[in-house]
Amino acid sequence: MKFDWTKTGHRMHKQGMALGTLLASTLLAIHPAQAGSVSRIEASGSKITISFDDLVEGASAFSLLGPDRIAIDVQGGKAGQGGYAAGIVKAVRQGQYDPNTARIVFDLDRPAVITEGRFSADGKSLQLNLQPVGQGQIANGRQSFLPPMNFRAEPPRKSYSVKMPLGKPRDSVNLPKIYGPSDTSRPLVVIDAGHGGHDPGTVSPHGGKYEKNVVLALARAIRDRLVAGGRVRVALTRDSDEFLVLEERYGIARRLNADLFISLHADAAGNEDASGATVYTLSEVASDREAAKLAARENKANIINGINLGGATRDVSSILIDLTQRETMNVSADFAKLLHREGSRQMAFRKIPHRFASFVVLKAPDTPSVLFEAGYLTNKDDVAFLNSGDGRSRVATGVASAIESHFARKLAMR
Ligand code: ZN
């Protein structure tokens, strides 16, 4: 299915980002001049109508997967409360994203895209048409909608526009290839190489190695080792230099119904002596200040120039840890111990090898997940180890045997 967002005539209601384009252009507002409040949101069937009590500058939309959502940012808008959900929309939430932007999030009962968005002639309501699509057809990027010129709120006095690359262009967020046995009853592990595209992660002071490349090479080595073992199925969230927001990473694991999710990273410290690997699992309360700082740094992958590409991070972090998630957290912690046990036969770990913090990428409520910091890119020896064939194969052996033991143990407990 093709949607006609790529044609931009003059004075179109839809401008800006086209499907799968390389650039996102973002207006950063400094002083809101005037603002219309969101007075009513109504969803019915595949239509959504957002009404304002005064003029707004414009709106833009982007999609999020797993759970499926569409977020609308209203520039020059003040958030109201709630909204009426029906049809494809399960729930409506709204909040003030920044002083000049109201954000409205629609929880969907299936993946959908906006096929048309149009402001009314008086600029005081925005109507959106939704259409359900396959998950692979959800595109990255924003769609923009502008009210007619005469009925547009004065833009903020000071505003500027920035353009930045959002990783490689892609037409859709496709589910990755699954490697290993074709028997779908075999457990599936998703390996997530952190960062990518415009986000290099940590840059090593020793030889300028990028974290995004180091961890991708490790992810591939682990995949190959698991495929050779023939016991489990494996998929990578990314197998190239592309950028994914954190929610997309665990979203892929959830959509594939994965049994285990491992996010791979390499650490940085001001003290170049710091070395060794650490396994992190999710906790709302960080085990120490350093773990909290690391989580804050890794969670920043979603934020560029103040714009949170992950969108719903604040919602996600406020999800109460329910019983399912508690169970998931226990399994994750068991796996973390196993990863230390098997991994330390191959490589060095830190004194406290298992720590806790609030990493967005670990927030899938139903997929046991760990974040593995394989070593320090600020440490000379770690850099040499992680970038050597021998080092990679040791990491791969350690991680793969932890994965295989984990599933063997689960099988034995059945
Ligand atoms: Zn990282």
Sequence spans of domains, the chain: 36-151, 172-413
Q: Which CATH superfamily is domain 172-413 in?
A: Zn-dependent exopeptidases (3.40.630.40)
Q: 3-46 pLDDT, tens per residue?
A: 333 333 333 333 333 333 333 333 333 334 457 899 999 988 88
Portion of the chain with pLDDT greater than 70, in percent? 80
Distance 53 CA to ligand 1 centre (A): 44
Q: What is the DSSP string of 247-289?
A: HHHHHHHHHTT-SEEEEEEEE--SSTT--SEEEEEE-SS-SSH
The 3-class SS string of 126-150 reads: EEEEEEECCHHHCCCCCEEECCCHH
Distance 264 CA to ligand 1 centre (A): 7
Distance 240 CA to ligand 1 centre (A): 16
Query: For the stretch 186-213, what's the b/e string if a residue is b when 16 or more beta carbons lie within 10 angstroms of its beta carbon?
Result: bbbbbbbbbbbbebebbebeeeebbbbb
Residue 410 vs residue 242, higher pLDDT: 242
What's the one-letter identity of residue 280? Y
Distance 267 CA to ligand 1 centre (A): 6
Distance 263 CA to ligand 1 centre (A): 9
> pLDDT band at 126, cuts 50/70/90?
very high
Quick one: CATH architecture of 36-151? Sandwich (2.60)
The phi and psi torsions of 360 (rounded to 5 degrees) equal -60, -40
Q: How many CA atoms lie within 13 A of 135 on its CB side?
A: 16
Distance 294 CA to ligand 1 centre (A): 9
Distance 80 CA to ligand 1 centre (A): 36
Distance 374 CA to ligand 1 centre (A): 10
Please give the mean pLDDT across all residues of the chain.
81
Distance 211 CA to ligand 1 centre (A): 7
Distance 292 CA to ligand 1 centre (A): 14
Distance 343 CA to ligand 1 centre (A): 19
Beta strands in 343-411 (DSSP E): 349-357, 369-376
Distance 246 CA to ligand 1 centre (A): 11
Distance 266 CA to ligand 1 centre (A): 6
| The token pair that represents 312 in the structure block | 């719903």
pLDDT at 402: 98
Distance 399 CA to ligand 1 centre (A): 18
Residue 109 vs residue 391, higher pLDDT: 391
Q: What is the pTM of this model?
A: 0.59
Distance 381 CA to ligand 1 centre (A): 18
CA angle 288, 291, 296 (to 5 degrees): 125
pLDDT at 307: 54
Distance 331 CA to ligand 1 centre (A): 23
pLDDT at 71: 87
What's the one-letter identity of residue 58? G
Distance 278 CA to ligand 1 centre (A): 12
| DSSP at 161 | E
Distance 323 CA to ligand 1 centre (A): 29
